[in-house]
Structure 1
C-alpha cells in the first residue's frame, strides 16, 4: 500500500504554491490536500459552502484551471459573517470578486446567498466535491450535510473543516464522530482538522486508495500533508529538498514509529475529562514527529473518558484502566510502561502545539548534556479561550531557572515536562503528593540536571472549575511548604546562592520563602531538623504518609485559616471594587452632569443675553410699530377719502364711458358716412378728372383753336363792355 501512496502523491497536484493566501490562515495547512483532491477526483461540479476570504475556494479553482478539468465551481456564502467567524461588511466580497473574476470567472461563480437558498440550483446527484465550512455548530453542520447529501454524485466526496476544534460552541467534531461511522473516511489533525468523507459508491480509484490507508499508511498520509501544509502556511514554495524529505515519509523503508523502541513515550494520566480528552489525544497524534507511543492510563474515570479514548483508532495508542490512585501514581505507572528514549507527560485536560516534539528533540539531540526542556505556557479557559501567557524569567541560565522556580512554579504543570527517560530512575519518579507532585519533581530535576526553556508557547494549560489543585488549597499550601523545607534541608545553599556577599545570598533566600505564607512551616521544619538531626527526607516520608500527624494538621489548619481570611479579604475587596466602581460611575455621572450643567448655564447666559437684546429690539420695534400704526391710520383716512372721490369719479367715469360709447357709435356712423362720401368724392374726382381730360383734349383740338380765334374780337368787345359797366 505504501508504494501505491508514493505513486499517488508523486503525481498529485499538491506541490504548487497557492496564488491566494490572505490573513485568514486557518485553511492554509489543508491547501495541498485540496489541490490533490481536485486532481484525483476530477470533479464535474464543485461546491463550497462558506468561503469568507476565499483561500480554500481559490485553491480549488487554481487546480481546476491548471489541470484543465472540465468543472463548474460554485462558492456559496452571504459574505456577512457569523458569530463564530465574526461579522463583516461588503468589502470582503467586493475584494474577493475583484480578485476571482478575472482569473476563474469563466468556470466559477460566486453565489451570494444562503446555503438553503442555493441548493435548488443543483440537480440531485450532480455534485462531486462538497466543502462544508459554514457555521460550525453541530446542528448547523448536520443540517448542511443532510440538506446537500441528495445533491452528491456517486463519485461524491465531502470535506468538513475544524474537526479538531473542541472549544466554545464549535461542534463539527461531534457530528464528525457520528457520521464517519457510516462512510469511508480519513481525518487530518493539523490546521484545526479536516474530515474527508466518501459518500459516493463509485469513488475514483485514487480516492478509494486514500480511504483504504490505515495504521502506518494513514499516519504517513497525515504526516505528508501536514508537512506540506506547514510549508504553505509559512508562505514559501516547495523546494526539491522539501519533496525529498516528504518522500521519505512515504518510504516503507523508513518506519513511522518503532513499537518496541519508540523515540518518545507520551503519558496521559486521564481522569473524568470527557470534555477535553479528545483534544488532548489528537494534539499528540497531530505532532509533526510520528515516532512515539501514546500511553493513556485511565485513573478510574466515572464519565465517558474511557469510551472516547477506546474509539480513537491509532496503532500508537496503548490504553490502560485502573482503580483511582491519584495523579502521581498514575503518572508513575505510565513511566514504568514507557519504552521511549524520551518521555513527555500530558494531562488529559491540556493540549500540545503540533511542533512541540520536533522542537524539543532538536534541542536535546544537539546537546547531550541537556536532560530536559520546557516551554512557555499558554493559559486557556474551560472553553479554550485565551487567558494569558505564563513566561517566567527571560533568557535564564540554569541557576536563574531554579531560583525563579523556588519563588513560583512558572513551569505550571507536568504537561510542560519533556525529558530523557533515565531522569526518572535517578529522581525515582513522582512523590506521594496529590497536588504539588509536579512542583516537587521540577525542583529536583532543575537542581540535579541541566535544563533549558524554549522561548515559545508550545502547550495549552487549561484553567477550569475542576482543576485538581483547586480541590483543597490548604493541603496544596502544606505540600508546597513541605517541598521547599525538604529541598532547603537537602540542597547545597552555597551552590544555590553563589554570591560572594553572604547577605546578598540571604536576601535572595528570603525571597524564595514568600510562597503562600509557608515561611513559618519551612523555618519550623528546618529548625527542628537541625536541632534533632532529622533529615528532610525523613520529615517528608512521615508527613506525606501520616495525614493525622499533629504538625501536618496544625499547618493545614493555619493555611485554611489564612485562606479564609484571604478569601474574606478578597470578597471585601471585590465589594469595595464594586462600590468604588459604582462611586466612580456616580462620580463620572456627577462630573458629566456638572459639565452639562455648566454648558447649559453658559448656553442660558448666551440665550438670556440674546433675549435681552431681543427685548430691546422688540421695544424699539413696538414703538416703531406704534408710529407706523398712526401713520397708517392717517394714510388710511386719506385712502378712504380718496376712495370716496374715486367712487364719485367712477360714477362720472361710468357716465363718461356711456357717453363716450354713444359718441363712439355716432362717430362710427359718421365715419361710415364719411367713408361713403369719400368714396363718392373719389368717384366725382375721377369723373371730374375725366372731364378735364376731355376739356383739355377739346381745347387742344384744331376746331377749338379756330373757334377761339374767330370769337376773340367778340370776346374783347364783351370784356371792354364789362369794364365800363
Structure 2
C-alpha cells in the first residue's frame, strides 16, 4: 500500500494536465499513488494521460459531477495513509510531499499539514507570493476569519481525519475546500511547513464572472460555518466578512479590465467598511483604496474605454 494518495480532479484540462502530473511524479518522496479523476472531460485530457508510463498513475473516468464530487470520488479510490489533492492546473515544488509528510510524522496528533502558496500566471510565471502564516494546533478561529490555506491544492490529510470529517460538500460551487478545512479544524490540529510549496495558477479568462460565482458560494459557506460555530466565536463574523470583502476587492482590482469590475471592487471595499468601520484606517485597506483610484483613472482614461 502506498504511503500517500495524490488526487487530481480533471475536467477539460488538456492545456495543463501533463505539467501538473509531472510536478507530482518528480517529487523527492516517491511512495505514492497518483489518482486522476477524469470528471467527464470532452477534450484530450484522458488521451494525454494515456501517454504517461508510470505505474503509480491511475485514471478513472466518470460523468461530470463537479470539483467536490471528483475529489470525493478520488477519496473513495485512495489506499494511502495520507491523502492530498492538487487541481489539474496547479503545481508543487519538488519537496512538497516529503516535507508535509515529515511534518505530520513529527506531529502525530495533527490531522492536516499545509504549506505557503505562490500565485503563477497561465505561462507558469510567478505573479506574487501570499504572506506567510504560522497558525498551528487549533486553527479553527483563524480559519473562520479567513482561508489562509488559499487553495484545494495545498493540504496533506491523515486518512483518519478525512474519515472523521466526511466528504466535500457537493452543493458548493466554490469555496468547498475552505468549508472542508473548517470541518477538519474543528476536529484536528494543523501543522505548517514554512515554505512556499504550492504554485496556484490564476487564469485570466472571464475572471470577473468567476469572482462573482466564488463570492456567492463563499457567502453561503460563511453562513454555514457560523451556524456550526460555537457561541464564543460568533463575534468573529464581522471580521470574517471584512476580510472576505477586502479579498474580493483585491481580486476585482487585479483582474478587471473595465470600469464595471472596478466598480465591483469599490462596492466590496464599502461592504468591508460597513462590516467593520474601523477597517478604514487599516494600512491594507488604504492601499486597496489607493489602488482603486489608480485603476479607475487608468481605465477611465484609456482610449479603448
- Equivalent positions of 1:710-725 (< 5 A) are none
Cα distance in 2 for residues equivalent to 1:513 and 1:488:
11
The equivalent residue for 2:140 is: 402
Does the residue aligned with 1:288 lie in a helix, a strand or coil? coil
The equivalent residue for 1:291 is: 31
Does the residue aligned with 2:35 lie in a helix, a strand or coil? strand
C-alpha spacing 1:391/1:493, structure 2 compared with 1 (3 Å): farther
Taking structure 1 as the reference length, the TM-score comes to 0.34
The equivalent residue for 2:264 is: 566
Deviations 1:393-435 (A, max 9, x none): 3x32435x43333333221111002110122221111002121
The equivalent residue for 1:458 is: 197
Deviations 1:667-718 (A, max 9, x none): xxxxxxxxxxxxxxxxxxxxxxxxxxxxxxxxxxxxxxxxxxxxxxxxxxxx
Deviation at 1:281, TM superposition (A): 0.5
Q: Which residue of the other structure, out of 83, 96, 106, is the alignment partner of 1:366? A: 106
- Equivalent positions of 1:313-332 (< 5 A) are 313-332=53-72
Q: Are 1:446 and 2:174 matched, yes or no? A: no
Deviations 1:167-193 (A, max 9, x none): xxxxxxxxxxxxxxxxxxxxxxxxxxx
Taking structure 2 as the reference length, the TM-score comes to 0.78
Q: Are 1:333 and 2:73 matched, yes or no? A: yes
Q: Which residue of the other structure, out of 240, 243, 247, is the alignment partner of 1:512? A: 240
**Aligned 8 A contact 1:299 1:322 in 2:** yes
Deviation at 1:312, TM superposition (A): 0.4
The equivalent residue for 1:430 is: 168
Cα distance in 2 for residues equivalent to 1:382 and 1:482:
29
**Aligned 8 A contact 2:262 2:292 in 1:** no
The equivalent residue for 2:288 is: none
Q: Which residue of the other structure, out of 576, 590, 593, is the alignment partner of 2:297? A: 576
Q: Are 1:303 and 2:43 matched, yes or no? A: yes
Does the residue aligned with 1:279 lie in a helix, a strand or coil? helix
C-alpha spacing 1:481/1:321, structure 2 compared with 1 (3 Å): same
The equivalent residue for 1:493 is: 231
- Equivalent positions of 1:179-578 (< 5 A) are 261-393=1-133, 395-399=134-138, 401-432=139-170, 433-466=172-205, 471-494=209-232, 496=233, 506=235, 508-516=236-244, 565-566=263-264, 574-577=295-298
**Aligned 8 A contact 2:154 2:198 in 1:** yes
How many residues matched? 266
Cα distance in 2 for residues equivalent to 1:564 and 1:360:
39
Deviations 1:183-206 (A, max 9, x none): xxxxxxxxxxxxxxxxxxxxxxxx
Cα distance in 1 for residues equivalent to 2:218 and 2:121:
24
C-alpha spacing 1:363/1:414, structure 2 compared with 1 (3 Å): same
Cα distance in 2 for residues equivalent to 1:470 and 1:437:
19
**Aligned 8 A contact 2:162 2:184 in 1:** no
Cα distance in 2 for residues equivalent to 1:360 and 1:492:
30
Higher strand share: 2
**Aligned 8 A contact 1:267 1:294 in 2:** yes
C-alpha spacing 1:440/1:388, structure 2 compared with 1 (3 Å): same
**Aligned 8 A contact 1:392 1:404 in 2:** no
Q: Which has the higher contact order (CA 8 A, sep 6+)?
A: 2
Deviation at 1:361, TM superposition (A): 1.3
C-alpha spacing 1:397/1:366, structure 2 compared with 1 (3 Å): closer
Which of these two proteins has the greater Rg computed from alpha carbons? 1
Deviations 1:522-568 (A, max 9, x none): xxxxxxxxxxxxxxxxxxxxxxxxxxxxxxxxxxxxxxxx9794168
Deviations 1:45-85 (A, max 9, x none): xxxxxxxxxxxxxxxxxxxxxxxxxxxxxxxxxxxxxxxxx
Cα distance in 2 for residues equivalent to 1:281 and 1:481:
33
